[in-house]
Chain A
Amino acid sequence: MTSENGGTPAGTGGDSTNRVSFLEEAIPHMDAVYRFALRLTGTQDGAEDLVQDTFFRAYRAWDQYTPGTRCKSWLFTICRNVFLRQRERQQRHDEIVQETAHEDAASLSREAPVFAASKHSDPEGDFFKSIVDEEILQAIDDLPHEYRMAVVLSDLEDLSYNEIAEIMEIPVGTVKSRLFRGRRQLQKRLHGYAVEMGYISGTSGDQ
């Protein structure tokens, strides 16, 4: 009559069981958290400190984690909060995203200025394949941080809109508009790079 179902003893003593379940459930996500942290901070040192802080806090709060829910999202939430607190402390109010643009997610999806610009020289966007990873990551790092967070969580870490909304504490509609705006900015930048490198011609063939 063992009642073990892979869960943690909720709130009961069992420190070592707790520790084991943390090692089993949380630690395997360290690479993902590291990548997220790297994109948020932009430096390896910053990312390593952020990851260490995240796991330390996560460990202390482990009894608040509901076993079986998505651990990765939970860790990202902590990571984001730690990052924002650090930023506040550093008082780097450098990038404030303007949410004033009343362009909704639908029109952001429908209209594609970069696609329009390269429609004639490279209609299917093959040039994206030629761009080196470093350039892509740098372009992501240069996005305003609210866009960056949405893009990283969706396009690099493959989380759903709902999960991102929870992590970023914003409505799903805002996730979409930030994500789609971030994508558009990224495309613009990568397109500019591809033109500069001569992967595609820069002349817009729009009539």
Chain B
Amino acid sequence: MKPFESLRKLFGSIGSGVAPGGDGGGAISCDEAKTRLFEYLDGELGPISHEEVERHLERCRACYPRFQFERHFLDALQAAEERGTASPELKDRILKVLAEESANDSS
């Protein structure tokens, strides 16, 4: 859901120095792009707004580091969490409690 992949692709292609085409209306300023930055990264913008930010990023090298910065930050948070799991003991305990509860209900 979160558009990290599309960002990655985007900035992957920017290295070549050629920004993908598409000009004209709907251009937004750096200020507007930054205002929508988190919502963009969170996949919370509507399709039109999302595309405006994306198009801005295609052209604006000034905004690129800021977006990368936030992406690295969010990636780090997500990576930190992946390992936490409930212990097998806890799972057993809960299943036991539920089994007792349903036995009580049906008696």
Contact = CB atoms under 8 A, between A and B. Distances in A.
Given A48-B90, A56-B101, A124 B72 contact: yes
Interface residues of B, number: 44
Contacts of B39: 109, 176
Interface string B1-26: 11000000000000000000000000
Interface residues of A, number: 54
Contacts of B65: 115, 119, 123-124
Contact of A155 (B35, B68, B78): B78
Interface in A87-138: 105-110, 112, 115, 118-119, 123-126, 128-129, 131, 133, 136-137
A30 interface: yes
B98 A156 contact: no
Given A15-B105, A56-B97, A160-B43, 18 more contacts: A27-B95, A31-B85, A34-B85, A48-B93, A51-B86, A51-B94, A56-B94, A59-B98, A60-B101, A108-B38, A110-B31, A124-B68, A125-B68, A125-B73, A128-B73, A155-B74, A156-B77, A160-B42
Interface of B: 1-2, 31, 34-39, 42-44, 65-66, 68-81, 83-87, 90-91, 93-95, 97-98, 101-102, 105-106
7 contacts: A27-B91, A30-B94, A31-B86, A109-B38, A124-B72, A125-B70, A156-B80
